[in-house]
Structure 1
Amino acid sequence: MTVPHPERVGTPDAPVGPPARRASSWDGQGPVVAMVALGGALGATARYGTARLWPVESGGFPWTTFWVNVAGCAVIGVFMVVITDVWAAHPPGRPSSAPGCSAEFTTFSTYAVDIRGLLDEGHPATGFAYLAATLFAALTAVWLAVTVTRRALAGRRR
């Protein structure tokens, strides 16, 4: 016969009582969650501000979202080099700098909605051009930012 809760069985080695509390996966995560929230709020506010400053007319190429996504991808590339190659960021600083702030600044959900809207409004050429141009420009921005940042930082280390 097995004992349903062997850790509670009274023996000289293990007295009767509740098991020791296990650490929660949330223990110590408060500062990280707060930094992600702060970074996200800053990024989302910056994105909203750019959309208000440079609105795009219906059916036109969504230049504001395009440039926000390209700039955000470049920032992510710079941050990733700085965080991984140069600066040993304190764990709460990592989520706020790249995934928190930059992920909320970039707006790939709006990108998808823009494409769908262009297709639904009868502008398939603009929609597909936007689809391809954003993917190419965003990936190029990350690659260029990583390359330039590594070269710039390597020159300073010598």
Structure 2
Amino acid sequence: MNWLLVVAGAVVGAPLRYLTDRAVQARHDSVFPWGTFVVNVTGCLILGLLTGAASAGAASAHLQLLLGTGLCGALTTYSTFSYETLRLTETGAGLYAAANVVASVAAGLGAAFAGVAIAGSVWG
């Protein structure tokens, strides 16, 4: 039955990723993949919050499956990040590609650490 939790989270996460990506990207006149950046950093924040909550005993294994594996697994996208970075490089936008890699890794890690810290202050 755990797989149902994963599916339920993914049913929300996948359309949320698509709709968020389109909404964010439509507001930027740039080749930088802002939509993917936003969903990935948001997913890192959610996973950080969930990790901190789980460490404090405030998030059950079921909640981790629903939100961590299901929702965030469908919301975030390493494959699209990789593809968009490759496409930026192929089209001569190497600086944007490098900025995408550096900003995505730094912001993702920062968001995950912030999530853990926030959860620690709430449930710790």
TM-score under structure 1 normalisation? 0.71
Contact 2:21 2:39 in 1 (8 A): no
Inter-partner Cα distance in structure 2 for 1:103 and 1:69: 10
For 1:96, the aligned partner's letter is L
Structure with higher Rg: it is: 1
RMSD of equivalent CA atoms: 1.8
Would you identify which runs of 4 or more consecutive aligned residues in structure 1 move more than 3 Å?
56-59
Inter-partner Cα distance in structure 2 for 1:88 and 1:101: 15
2:65 aligned with 1:95 = yes
SS across alignment from 1:122: coil
Tell me the equivalent position of 1:139. 109
Tell me the equivalent position of 1:80. 51
Consecutive unaligned residues in structure 2, runs of 5 or more = none
TM-score under structure 2 normalisation? 0.89
Relative contact order higher in (CA < 8 Å, ≥ 6 apart): 2
For 1:99, the aligned partner's letter is T
Contact 2:56 2:123 in 1 (8 A): no
| Alignment coverage as a number of residue pairs | 123
Inter-partner Cα distance in structure 2 for 1:143 and 1:70: 11
Q: Percent identity?
A: 27
Higher helix share: 2
Q: CA deviation at 1:80?
A: 1.3
> Which of these residues, 18, 23, 41, is aligned with residue 53 of structure 1?
23
Consecutive unaligned residues in structure 1, runs of 5 or more = 1-30
Inter-partner Cα distance in structure 1 for 2:34 and 2:41: 10
Q: CA deviation at 1:93?
A: 3.2
